Amino acid sequence: MSDAVTAYHTVTASSEFREMERLRVKASHDEAQALHSAAKRKALAIARNALQKNISINDIADITGLTHDEVEKLHNTRDTD
């Protein structure tokens, strides 16, 4: 058992292992960011469609998870286009 523990500590202490772990964590973070960004874009698209149907800003915020300010900004941007 002590040989296995020693081998584990040797491997995890290596620079190659640390770099692989850093890259794995970075890839996981990048994937989470991409999913978050896609979800945000989808919520904004839904909010734009709801604004066109004259659904209230409060209802849109509740439905999409966007803040009231984000929906209000979309509404104001739409009015100036």
24-63 pLDDT, tens per residue? 999 999 999 999 999 999 999 999 999 999 999 999 999 9
Contact 45, 63 (CB under 8 A): no
Number of domains in the chain: 1
The pair of three-digit structure tokens given for residue 43, joined into one six-digit string: 């919520």
Cβ–Cβ < 8 Å for 67, 61:
yes
Structural domain of residue 30, as residue ranges?
Answer: 2-80
Alpha carbon distances (Å) from 40 to 66, 67, 69: 8, 11, 14
Between CA 47 and CA 52, with CA 50 as vertex, the angle to 5 degrees is: 115
Higher-confidence residue of 14 and 76: namely 76
pTM greater than the 0.75 cutoff: no
